Structure 1
Amino acid sequence: MKAGVFKAKEQVEVMEKELPLKKSNEALIKVACAGICGTDMMIYTGLHPRAECSLIMGHEFSGRVQEIDGSHVIKEGDRVSVNPLISCGECYACERGMHHICHHLQYLGIDKNGGFAEYVTVPVNNLHLLDADISDEEGAMIEPLAVAVHSLRKSSMRFGDVVLILGAGPIGMLIAMLARKAGAAKVIISDVSDFRLSVAKDQGFYTVNAKTTDAVNKAKEFTQGIGADVVFEAAGNQSTAHQMIEAIKPQGEILVVSVYKTSPQVNLAQMHFREISLKTTRCFSNDDFKKAIHLIKNKEIKADNIISHKLSILNFEEGFQLMKNADTSLKILFHT
């Protein structure tokens, strides 16, 4: 089979690989579509702490069941989206149903070979059936949408709130869509990429170009100087770590969704004086994944609206080169 392989820092290559051997309780999946995530870019740039060279990346993907043993609801030939989380089932978190924050959590495409290949083996319990009215591209968007679903569900956002999203990447965009659906009175998205902000504007969101306009002042303009009710930090840099505190109202709520590559400085004194709540999120639960499927199936969220490029897996290196430039890319998908 052909597979996109992480060779070394900023080196990826399409290679010929042997088909993976299916183990007990696994299915062999013929991959249809797989998306590049920010985590894949961390691996690509050599910044991910666990991913090793010769890895087949890719944890956002859909496909068709090629082989499956035993009696299961999902059968050979079924189209599926894949939950890439693999938990131990035995740690403190797993015993209490918090499998997504398992102490030994592993990811397909990070700790094990993933979906940037023609075929991949997947634990049967990680498969989710796709209806005929969900496209392969939408199936690959379920995983990032599940991240956004989890973020909204962890928040205390209420109908009529003003929501500020720092970062117009795929996750920030999907959070914006969900916040609007949940009844936010105003959704503001801040970023430095003209291209990504143009996509956000086309989707009907109020945009702030952080290169020329102060996102904090804009959030306060809409709230008579009070500040946003909820801030979702989805950019992961020092400037947004400052902005998330400055832009929030007294007793407001901040959700840090992004994964910081280096530890930011955070003004705890400002948070203390205004009793600001700070929450963090990590990936998603299995229930969040199911809700993401429901939202896409019922056309309540059009996640494919943020796809900027669709490439063949043969253009694997080109996809990563494109993804390096936020001024021309948003979500890039590979077809196998």
Structure 2
Amino acid sequence: MTRTPPDTLPSTMRALVLTRIGELQLREVPLPEPQPGDALLKVRAVGVCGSDLHGYTGRTGRRVPPLVMGHEATAEVVGVGEGVDLPIGTRVAVHPIVQTARGRRLMGMDAPGAYAEYVVWPARNLYPLPETLDFEAGAFAEPLAVAVHAVNFIPLGPEDTVFIAGAGPIGLLCASVLLHAGVQQVVVSDTSAARLGVARAIGVHAALNPAETDLPAALQDLTGGRGADACIEAVGVSATVAQALDCAKDGGTVVWLGNNARVVEVDMQTVVTRELRVLGSYGMSHEDFRQALELLAGGHIPTAELVHRRARLEEGATLFDELLASPEVVKCLITPHR
């Protein structure tokens, strides 16, 4: 491994380890060693993803302890393996999905993640941060690429109405992408007044609480009786799946993006008789990631509106319980070296 200067890297590092379901411990672990094609990264900022919160609770079964989670990362290259020509000190955003002969490999789920001071990842999945982006804004590249990927499934027209079930980070990022694309009416639903307030702040046409509003009727009113041209389900539970189906126009497109409950109830007659086009969206391509970085670099995504909490690794043992109890927090960023 190349090190510059040679004596500045420690032999161990701090990492937030999911030791068992519902338990995180800050531990001292060996510094990872990059293999050929890899880079050693000093993690500068990493977002807490809803999938990690659900992994912590065991709800999805997709995070298996012991594990260092975290995949929404920006970092600085501090070492490289054989065959890597990235300069030491390069600021990068991490594309956390690697395609292998055995399928997809996700940082923080199938490999050690970025809730740590350092992480190793293939250099081919690292994107230099544009000069206009700091590490915190750059940490939105991964979730924004997920939103871009989902929106790209929708055949958009400038006069369309798009409904989004869920005003979490992904739902709000989808809204931001749609607004930048010039979609006339973007409507968001959520049961959190605080998150609906954020949706209004970023410029959506309407932010509605399903506990207070008949959502299908509201969409009918907004569209002259037609319904939403497309709907994005950004939560992943039966209630919001039903919202997305019910708010779509006949023949409309519904994109399932939420990945919370493994099994949900679906009204098949609604899908069949109204000829809805239902698509699943997962992860992102490299082109989606590049588009996300361009959107961020151009200042088109209101990331400052979405960051409601910053934390250090030392807070990790109680941080996830705090976030689960505080739905008004849209996005939390962990800065391991702050």
**TM-score normalised to the size of structure 1?**
0.92
CA shift for structure 1 position 72: 4.7
Alpha-carbon distance in structure 2 between the residues aligned to 1:144 and 1:61: 10
Question: Which region of structure 1 is more displaced relative to structure 2, 201-210 or 138-147?
Answer: 201-210
Check if 1:184 corresponds to 2:183. Answer: yes
What's the secondary structure of 1:16's corresponding residue? Answer: strand
Which residue in 1 is equivalent to 2:300? 300
174 and 266 in structure 1: CA distance in 2 versus 1, 3 angstrom threshold:
same
1:79 corresponds, among 81, 91, 112, to 91
Match of 2:107 in 1: 108
Deviation at 1:259, TM superposition (A): 1.2
Match of 1:157 in 2: 156
Q: Is the 8 A contact 1:59 1:114 kept in 2?
A: yes
What is the match of residue 36 of structure 1?
48
- Name the aligned partner's letter for residue 119 of structure 1: Y
Within the alignment, does 1:6 sit opposite 2:18 as a pair?
Answer: yes
The answer for the alignment partner of 1:167 in structure 2 is: 166
Q: Secondary structure at the residue paired with 1:80?
A: strand
Give the aligned partner of residue 271 of structure 1.
Answer: 271
CA–CA distance in 1 between the matches of 2:222 and 2:208?
A: 13
> Which amino acid in 2 is paired with 1:324?
L
Query: Structure 1 residues 218, 73: closer, same or farther in 2, change over 3 A?
Result: farther
Does the CA contact (< 8 Å) of 2:56 and 2:63 recur in 1?
Answer: no
Which one is further off, 68-77 or 35-44? 68-77
Deviation at 1:251, TM superposition (A): 1.1
The match for 2:218 is 218
Q: Is the 8 A contact 1:215 1:243 kept in 2?
A: yes
* Corresponding residue of 1:135: 134
| Structure 1 residue 45 corresponds to structure 2 residue 57 | yes
Superimposed CA distance per residue, residues 74-101 of structure 1 (whole angstroms, 9 cap, x where no aligned partner): 311000010111211x4xxxxxxxxxxx
For residue 70 of structure 1, report the CA deviation from its aligned partner: 5.0
Structure 2 stretches lacking a partner, 5+ long: 1-12
Q: Say if 1:322 and 1:328, in contact at 8 Å, map to a contact too.
A: no
Q: What amino acid sits opposite 1:313 in the alignment?
A: L
CA distance in 2, matches of 1:179, 1:132: 25
- Report the AA paired with residue 288 of structure 2: D
Separation in structure 2 between the aligned mates of residue 180 and residue 133 of structure 1, nearest angstrom: 22
Task: Compute the RMSD of aligned alpha carbons.
Answer: 1.5
Shift of the alpha carbon at 1:66? 0.3
Q: Could you say if the C-alpha distance between residues 177 and 86 of structure 1 is closer, same or farther in structure 2, counting changes exceeding 3 Å? A: same
CA distance in 2, matches of 1:263, 1:48: 10
Q: 1:35 touches 1:334 (CA, 8 Å); kept in 2? A: yes
C-alpha separation between the residues in 1 aligned to 2:152 and 2:278?
A: 15
Q: CA deviation at 1:305?
A: 2.3
Identity %: 31
Contact 1:50 / 1:111 at 8 angstroms: preserved in 2?
no
In structure 2, the partner of 1:256 is 256
Alignment pair present for 1:284 and 2:284: yes
> How many pairs were matched up?
323
Give the Cα–Cα distance (whole angstroms) in 2 for the partners of residues 48 and 238 of structure 1. Answer: 15
Distance 1:279 1:146 in 2: 17
**Structure 1 residue 328: deviation in Å?**
2.8
Q: Distance in 2 between matches of 1:324 and 1:84?
A: 24
- Determine if contact 1:195/1:326 at 8 Å carries over to the other structure: no
1:12 and 1:268 mapped to 2: Cα distance? Answer: 40
- Confirm or deny: 8 A CA contact 1:85 1:106 kept in the other structure: yes
The answer for the alignment partner of 2:209 in structure 1 is 209
Distance 1:304 1:317, change over 3 A: farther
Structure 1 residues 316 and 236, CA gap change in structure 2 (3 angstroms): same
Instruction: Write the letter of the residue equivalent to 1:317.
Output: A
Structure 1 residues not aligned, in runs of 5+:
91-102
Other structure's SS at 2:139 match: helix
TM-score (norm 2): 0.92
Q: Any conservation in 1 of the 2:230–2:253 contact (CA below 8 Å)? A: yes
Report whether the alignment pairs 1:315 with 2:315. yes
Of the structure 1 ranges 242-251 and 163-172, higher mean CA displacement relative to structure 2 is found in: 242-251
Give SS of 1:17's match.
Answer: strand
